[in-house]
Structure 1
Amino acid sequence: MKIPSLLASLLFLVSLGGCGVVAAPCRVTSAVLKMVPLVGHAAALPTDACAAVID
C-alpha cells in the first residue's frame, strides 16, 4: 500500500523540479570533466550542450 503513494509523491516532486532534475547528470559529468587538466573544458563541451538542450 505504501509503495504506490511513495511513487506518486516522488513523481510529483520530480515534476516540480522541472528540467533541472533531468539535466543534473549532464551537469555533474561536465563538472567532473572540467577538473581534468588541459583537456577538461574541451571534453566537457558535449555534456554542456546536453544540459543546454534539456533546459
Structure 2
Amino acid sequence: MMTCFLSPRRLVAAAMLMGVATALSGCGVAAFPVRVTSATAKLVPVAGDVVAYPLDKTADAID
C-alpha cells in the first residue's frame, strides 16, 4: 500500500511546526537580552541612566 506524501496527518504536522516556529521568532525574544542589560545598567547610581538610554532605544527599535 502506497501512502500519499501530502497526507492530512503530514499537513497538520507541518502547519503546527510552522506555527511554533512563527511564535518563537517574535521580536520580543530578540529584544529580551537588550532589555535585561538595560535594567542591569540602571542599577548603577549616576551613569546607569545614561548608559541605559541607548539600550532602551535599541530594544524599542527591535520591537
TM-score by length of 2: 0.62
AA partner of residue 44 (structure 1)? A
Structure 1 or 2, whichever has the larger Rg, is: 2
Coordinate RMSD, CA, aligned: 2.0
Deviations, residues 1-51 of structure 1 (Å, cap 9, x unaligned) = xxxxxxx7xx72xx3141100000110000000000111111101110110
Q: Which residue of 1 aligns with 2:55?
A: 47
Alignment partner, residue 40 of structure 2? 32
Q: Percent identity of the aligned residues?
A: 48
How many residue pairs get matched? 45
2:23 is aligned, of 9, 12, 16, to: 16
| TM-score normalised per structure 1 | 0.70
Q: Distance in 1 between matches of 2:52 and 2:31?
A: 14
Structure 1 segments, 4+ long, off by >2 Å, are: none
- The answer for unaligned runs of 5 or more in structure 2 is 1-16
Query: Please, which runs of 5 or more residues in structure 1 have no aligned partner?
Result: 1-7
Matched to 1:46, the amino acid is P
